[in-house]
């Protein structure tokens, strides 16, 4: 992996071995790890959310904090598996045919996928403010994929932007304006080799394609390099 800290490093590295084992013990059966309702009923989770919440509260951002904690816990519970996806790997994922599906009966897994810096951009909060997509926590159970996408990780910034998408793979995703999925929307993006995601469905489709690219290799490796 790159030397740059991941979102897990920034938020959870110093507290994970203290905070996550009690959550795992409280949940009991491993199959309940993916059940967020069950997770939120556990006292250690409530206490962790309270510790991470800013003094002024989060308001609408509480759901994003819950999603981040859930995926960070899943990432930890599956052994902190990391995938580094380079520019070539990102191009391969974008090129995966929309009709291509994952093999059936794949085991549950969770991992963090790091994307090439400043190569794919989106507007996670809406409007005209674009941020780079730095990476994603991905957790798959059956045909259900949970993605917590992390935008705008910068050394000088306190925090980052989090967006969650979840569910089965989108059916025939498309853009309202007819442009190809992942085509750059930033001026000069084509010449610079950039990509863009313009909505939740497109982000979800990208997550599915990235997971298809990773495939079964993630089960045999704590670290995987897809440069």
CB contact at 8 A, 106 and 219: no
CA angle 170, 175, 176 (to 5 degrees): 120
- Model pLDDT for residues 142-189, shown as the tens digit of each residue: 889 999 999 988 767 777 899 999 999 998 899 989 999 999 999 899
CB contact at 8 A, 81 and 109: yes
Q: What is the model's pLDDT at position 1?
A: 42
Q: Residue 116 corresponds to which tokens in the numbers above?
A: 């090439």
What is the separation of C-alpha 112 from the centre of its chain, rounded to a whole number of angstroms?
7
Q: What is the dihedral of CA 60, 65, 67, 70, to 10 degrees?
A: -150
Q: Looking at 7-107, list the stretches that DSSP marks H as alpha helix, in order from N- to C-terminal side.
A: 7-11, 16-27, 36-40, 43-52, 62-77, 87-95
Average pLDDT across the chain, whole number: 89
**Residue position matching structure tokens 């080799």:** 193
CB contact at 8 A, 153 and 162: no
Q: What is the model's pLDDT at position 9?
A: 93
pLDDT band at 2; cut points 50, 70, 90 = very low
Q: What is the model's pLDDT at position 159?
A: 78
Task: Of 27, 60, 30, give the one whose Cα is nearest residue 41.
Answer: 27
105 vs 19, residue with greater confidence: 19
- Over residues 116-143, the mean pLDDT reads 90
CB contact at 8 A, 108 and 34: yes
Residue 206 has pLDDT above 90, yes or no: yes
pLDDT band at 31; cut points 50, 70, 90 = low
Question: What are the backbone dihedrals phi and psi of residue 133, each rounded to the nearest 5 degrees, phi first?
Answer: -85, 110
Maximum average pLDDT range among 30-34, 54-58, 63-67: 63-67
For the chain, first and last CA: distance in Å? 11
Q: Which residues, other chains included, contact 101 with Cβ-Cβ below 8 Å and sequence gap of 6+?
A: 169
């Amino acid at each position: 992996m790159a030397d740059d800290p991941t979102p897990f490093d920034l938020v959870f590295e110093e507290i994970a071995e203290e905070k996550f084992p009690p959550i795992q013990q409280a949940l009991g059966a491993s199959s309940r790890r993916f059940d967020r309702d069950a997770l939120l009923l556990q006292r250690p989770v409530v206490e962790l959310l309270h510790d991470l919440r800013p003094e002024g509260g989060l308001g609408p951002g509480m759901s994003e904090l819950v999603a981040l904690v859930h995926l960070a816990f899943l990432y930890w519970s599956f052994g902190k598996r990391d995938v580094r996806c380079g520019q070539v790997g990102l191009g391969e994922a974008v090129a995966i045919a929309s009709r291509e599906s994952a093999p059936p009966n794949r085991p549950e897994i969770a991992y963090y996928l790091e994307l090439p810096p400043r190569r794919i951009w989106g507007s996670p909060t809406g409007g005209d403010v674009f941020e780079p997509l730095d990476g994603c926590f991905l957790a798959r159970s059956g045909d259900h994929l949970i993605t917590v996408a992390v935008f705008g990780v910068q050394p000088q910034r306190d925090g980052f932007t989090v967006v969650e998408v979840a569910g089965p793979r989108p059916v025939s995703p498309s853009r309202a304006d007819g442009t190809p999925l992942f085509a750059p929307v930033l001026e000069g993006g084509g010449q610079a080799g950039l990509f863009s995601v313009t909505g939740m469905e497109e982000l979800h489709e990208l997550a599915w394609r990235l997971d298809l690219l990773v495939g079964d290799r993630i089960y045999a490796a704590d670290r995987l390099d897809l440069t």
